[in-house]
Copies of this chain bind each other. A is one copy, B any other.
Amino acid sequence: MSRKIRMGMVGGGIGAFIGGVHRMAAAIDGQIELVCGAFSSNPEKSKASGKEFFLPEDRVYGSYAEMMEKEKQLPEGERMDFVSIVTPNHVHYGPAKMALENGFHVVCDKPLCFNMEEALELEKLVKETGLIFALTHNYTGYPMVKQAKAMIKNGDIGKVRKVVVEYPQGWLSTKLEDSEQKQASWRTDPKRSGIAGAMGDIGTHAENLAEYITGLEITEMCADLTAFVEGRALDDDGNVLLRFDNGAKGILHASQISAGEENDLNIRVYGEKGGLQWHQMEPNTLVVKWLDQPKQVLRTGVGDLYPSAQSHTRIPAGHPEGYLEAFASIYRNFAHCVRARITGEAVDPIYEDFPTVSDGVRGMRFIDRVVYAGSSEEKWVKF
């Protein structure tokens, strides 16, 4: 099958942040081709965007419904193979459902959708259709996150005792949503974002990262959520105590009012024999701390890393790979799985490594439960 996998996009018109990220990520590895899109609910804007992306006019649609319908009628190999959904949270469910119902695989931005009902419905549809569904918890795409996961799975640091996962940002320290800032506007709006602010936008990344790396599940949470900026409807900061299913304890905090912080998702995991530390802003480094031994600085491309880390690295040591490359790995893995599905060939298990609809359901449950915990008098709330 000598062609690229074909992507149709929902949302992500000119000027959108995450849409551009998805397009760059999908392009990097040369496996995926953008063939069509419904880039905006405004058909004019959709058209203008399609032109910018060098698409033929007849593959730029005025709505995602139109796109699904028209593409479906094209022959296999010409029509899109999958849909990439990069709209705000409240417009994930509609196109995802329609894509699945019409036989298209799906890549969907996080969080999965707007509420638990939608989440469970999507999970059901994915199971029923057997289609491939990737959720872009992109931070799990970094090689050193893969390395950390593999080390813990292999018992390198012993049984996990403590997890500290943090996601401080500062960009919502002022009431940015009162300006024209598009990102701030929808992310602080309960009608488009859902019941959570920072906890939904970035807290879910932290939750996903902690569970992905440790292989553990959060079982209980105790939360203190705050909207520090006056007049803001949703939380812009949250501090959470965690308990995991193996008895480990943890802390998760996510914030968009940590003034001066950029995007410092980071995690520390302590086991009986050692500890791991990873910072998203220096993603090619994994610090490994040992009991009474010098700590080691593991780096992408250096020495004997686990296969999952190596297979998600493109270039030699010292040539930094960043956010787009980690994001791209999710698209690359997804594309290889889609290709295998089309050709009927087996897929290298290394590619069966991307967040799925079930991770999305778990993220939605995190949102549901942490918001409840934040307002509850109970100390511990079941996940």
Contact bitstring A91-134, B, C-beta under 8 A = 1, else 0:
00000000000000000000000000000000000000000000
Residue picked from A24, A157, A376, most chain B C-beta under 10 Å:
A24
Instruction: Please state if B299 and A297 are interface contacts (CB–CB under 8 Å).
Output: no
Tier of interface size on chain A: 35 or more
Whole-angstrom CA separation of A16 from B374 in the bound complex: 46
CB neighbours of A173 from chain B (8 A): 272, 291
Instruction: Please state if A379 and B222 are interface contacts (CB–CB under 8 Å).
Output: yes
CB neighbours of A317 from chain B (8 A): 262-263
Contact bitstring A152-196, B, C-beta under 8 A = 1, else 0:
000001100110101011110110000000000000000000000
Whole-angstrom CA separation of A316 from B29 in the bound complex: 22
Instruction: Please state if B51 and A257 are interface contacts (CB–CB under 8 Å).
Output: no
Minimum C-beta distance from A258 to chain B (A): 5
User: Which residue of B29, B53, B283 contacts A320 across the interface (Cβ within 8 Å)?
Assistant: B283
User: Which residue of B222, B226, B264 contacts A318 across the interface (Cβ within 8 Å)?
Assistant: B264
Contact bitstring A304-328, B, C-beta under 8 A = 1, else 0:
0000000000111111111111000
Instruction: Give the residues from 230 to 263 in chain A that come closer than 8 angstroms, CB to CB, to chain B.
Output: 237, 239, 241, 243, 249-251, 253, 255, 257-263
* A76 beta carbon closer than 8 Å to chain B: no
CB neighbours of A343 from chain B (8 A): none
Instruction: Please state if A169 and B302 are interface contacts (CB–CB under 8 Å).
Output: no
User: Which residue of B53, B262, B289, B324 contacts A28 across the interface (Cβ within 8 Å)?
Assistant: B324
Instruction: Please state if B295 and A260 are interface contacts (CB–CB under 8 Å).
Output: yes
Minimum C-beta distance from A227 to chain B (A): 11
User: Which residue of B228, B255, B290, B377 contacts A379 across the interface (Cβ within 8 Å)?
Assistant: B377
Contact bitstring A198-228, B, C-beta under 8 A = 1, else 0:
0000000000000000000000001010101
Whole-angstrom CA separation of A266 from B298 in the bound complex: 21
* A15 beta carbon closer than 8 Å to chain B: no
CB neighbours of A258 from chain B (8 A): 162, 268, 270, 275
Whole-angstrom CA separation of A197 from B11 in the bound complex: 50
Instruction: Please state if A241 and B259 are interface contacts (CB–CB under 8 Å).
Output: no
Whole-angstrom CA separation of A293 from B297 in the bound complex: 9
